[in-house]
Amino acid sequence: MCGMMKGIVLAGGYGTRLHPLTRATSKHLLPVYDKPMVYYPLATLMLGGIRDILLVSTPQDLPVYEQLLGTGAQWGVRIQYAAQEKPGGLAEAFLVGREFVGRDPVTLILGDNVFHGEGFARMLQTSIQENGGATVFGSFVSDPERYGVAAFDVAGDVVGIEEKPVHPKSNWAVAGLYVYDNSVLDIAASLKPSARGELEITDVNNEYLRRSKLKLVKFSRGTAWLDMGTHDSLLDAANYIAAMQKRQGLQVACLEEVAFRMGFIDADALAKLAEAAKVPEQRKYLQGVLQAGA
The pLDDT tens digits of the residues spanning 80-101 come to 999 999 999 999 999 999 999 9
CA distance linking residue 251 with residue 122, whole number of Å: 18
SS3 assignment, position 14: coil
Nearest to 105 by CA among 180, 45, 213, 51: 180
Q: Structurally, how many domains does the chain consist of?
A: 2
Question: Are residues 204 and 120 in contact, defined by beta-carbon separation less than 8 angstroms?
Answer: no
The pTM (predicted TM-score) of the whole model is: 0.97
| pLDDT tops 80 at residue 1 | no
Domain span holding position 34: 6-134+176-263
Q: What is the mean pLDDT of residues 88-116?
A: 98
Domain annotation covers residue 103? yes
Domain annotation covers residue 161? no
Q: Where are the strands (E) in 84-133, listed by range?
A: 106-110, 113-116
- The pLDDT value recorded for residue 3 is 78
The pLDDT tens digits of the residues spanning 131-165 come to 999 999 999 999 999 999 999 999 999 999 999 99
The pLDDT tens digits of the residues spanning 2-31 come to 579 999 999 999 899 999 999 999 999 999
Q: What is the mean pLDDT of residues 76-80?
A: 98
Domain annotation covers residue 141? no
The pLDDT tens digits of the residues spanning 46-58 come to 999 999 999 999 9
Amino acid letter at 131?
A: N
Count the alpha carbons within 13 Å of 175 in the hemisphere toward its beta carbon: 29
Q: What is the mean pLDDT of residues 195-219?
A: 96
Does 63 share its domain with 95?
Answer: yes
- Give the alpha-carbon dihedral of 15, 19, 23, 28, to 10 degrees: -40
